[in-house]
Structure 1
Amino acid sequence: MRRPVAIIGFGGITRTLVSAIQPDAEDFEVKNILVRAGYLDNPDYRWGNARFISSIDELDADVELVIEAAGHSAVQQFALDVARSGRTLAIVSSGALADDDLRGELLMSARSHEASVHVVSGAIGALDALLTARAAGKQSVHYEGIKPTKAWRGTHAEQCVDLDKVEEPTSFFTGTARDVARLYPKNANVAATIALAANGFDETTVTLVADPGASHNRHVVESQNTLGGFRFEITSLPSADNPRTSGSTAFSILAYLRQGTNMVSL
């Protein structure tokens, strides 16, 4: 019997995900897709046999896993309701969890309702190495995010550097993963996921770089720890729908649905 799941959001990430799903070959079935109420009558918001809904209360009774793929506001709006329903919640927009009050309330709700909360790897790897190092003791973790200059347009970066005049890779921000979640919410998820796997939002340092010659997003994670150390680098094409999002994000959800290993448990 296939596992019934639901997805929050029907933007670029979800559309890429559902186009990659092979309905007759998967061990799961997308039963519901949650969108804003105003979109329910939009013919563009249809996929397979999935029933489109606008609230957690409308989920099919047999749905046991809910995937968030709609941004920080969706986590803020729906995460607690999913946990209170006793279902498993898988979060893509991990930057929302930099809010300690939200994360704490979500964890309490999950425990009291025997629910689980996972953070999907998204655009980054090395989560297993970070978790292993954390289990062994303290570690020093730094993340560097390098993206094409155009990916930083419309963000706080425009207050830090003149993007029109950037002619070489330029670092415009150094701070913590919590700072990134506050100042760059649409670019915060990689830093947040690393922080959740490592030592936390205030202990994970971050550098952001605008590179006018880049055609890919690059993510570099470095850890020095009691077991030794490691450096991990991943290069990925930006999403065709959103240059701030890596194209690998949707496929990390698919890998999670198929194998359930590329994630951090809260």
Structure 2
Amino acid sequence: MKVAILGCGAIGGVVARAVQNGEVAGAELIGVVHAEPADPPGLPVLDVESAIARADLVVECAGQRALAELGPSIVAAGTDLLVVSVGALADDALLAKLRDTGPGRLHLCSGAIGGLDALAATARMGGLDAVRIVTTKKAPALIQKWMDEPTAQRLRTTGEPVQLMRAPAREVTAAFPASANVAASVALAVGDWDLVEATVVADPNAPLTSHVITADGSAGSYRFEIRNHPSVDNPATSGVVPHAVLACLARLAQPTGAFA
């Protein structure tokens, strides 16, 4: 399986080098597509058109805007697409383009969280009455461009937790595009953006990034708590995310009995 990586930052760079080094059986790196002025050392670089033409699978690690701009042309050309920035799929029109038009296939990466299979099964069985996710990260990692300076300064200096937002997953995903892909993943798993309530908490003393998911429905009650070390290169994401991408790649390259 010939693989191209879209984006070469804290996630894409790790994925690209692992594939290049032969760590994913059955997968071959043909290159990376990136927007930075300097090329990443030691990695082959492609433009988007070459990546689409040559790859069997493009792995999106470049953020929501890049997915919205480039994703439709990738699947329209018949190339499969593995999405990391699932928050972009809060746009129903974009999701429809990527999922329903083809001929390339859409694959989603669970990223920093688990339990999505149980949530999907429960939603299918008899529906869910309530789903909540609370994401807690180091305060400075949650500063956004839309925040005014007093709010940003508060996050730089606060000594206690601050609840920044509590709203339906679609709204939270839009407000925190680099930090709330987890809320989008939960909403996509249960098939209802409005049912999932997402909360973002900035905590200067949080040793790890945490995601606490609770759900209640006809099948039972569920609680998942995930606590990840932040990425060394980008504290807005978890260090485990590129390895979740690599696990997805391994299943796609050689589907031999692994969990989907």
TM-score for the superposition, normalised by structure 2: 0.87
Q: Partner letter of residue 91 of structure 2?
A: D
Residue 83 of structure 2 contacts residue 107 of structure 2 at CA under 8 Å; is this kept in 1? yes
Following superposition, the deviation at residue 153 of structure 1 comes to 2.4
CA distance in 2, matches of 1:77, 1:262: 31
Number of aligned residue pairs: 251
The aligned counterpart of 2:111 is 122
User: Separation in 2 of the partners of 1:125 and 1:135?
Assistant: 18
Percent of paired sites with the same residue: 32
Whether the 8 Å CA contact 1:236–1:247 is kept in 2: the answer is yes
SS of residue paired to 1:251: helix
Deviation at residue 123 of structure 1 after TM alignment: 0.8
Judge conservation of contact 1:149–1:211 (CA < 8 Å) in 2. Answer: yes
- Which among 102, 107, 111 is matched to residue 99 of structure 2? 107
TM-superposed CA distance for 1:166, in Å, is 3.0
How far apart are 1:61 and its partner, in Å?
A: 4.7
Distance 1:262 1:247, change over 3 A: farther
Deviation at residue 60 of structure 1 after TM alignment = 6.7
Do the aligned partners of 1:156 and 1:184 also contact (CA within 8 Å) in 2? no
Q: 1:136 aligns with which of 125, 128, 141?
A: 125
Q: Quick one: structure 1 residues 167 and 96, their matched pair in 2 at CA, closer, same or farther if it must change by over 3 Å? A: same
Where in structure 2 are there 5+ consecutive unaligned residues?
Answer: 253-257
Matched residue, 1:26: 25
> Alignment partner of 1:123: what SS?
coil
Q: Tell me, which stretches of 5 or more residues in structure 1 are unaligned?
A: none
Distance 1:157 1:123, change over 3 A: farther
Please state whether the residue corresponding to 1:53 is helix, strand or coil.
coil
Distance 2:179 2:77 in 1: 30
The verdict on how the C-alpha distance between 1:213 and 1:60 changes in structure 2, with shifts beyond 3 A counting, is: closer
Matched, 1:148 2:138: yes
Contact 2:169 2:197 survives alignment (8 Å): yes
Q: Give the TM-score normalised by structure 1.
A: 0.85
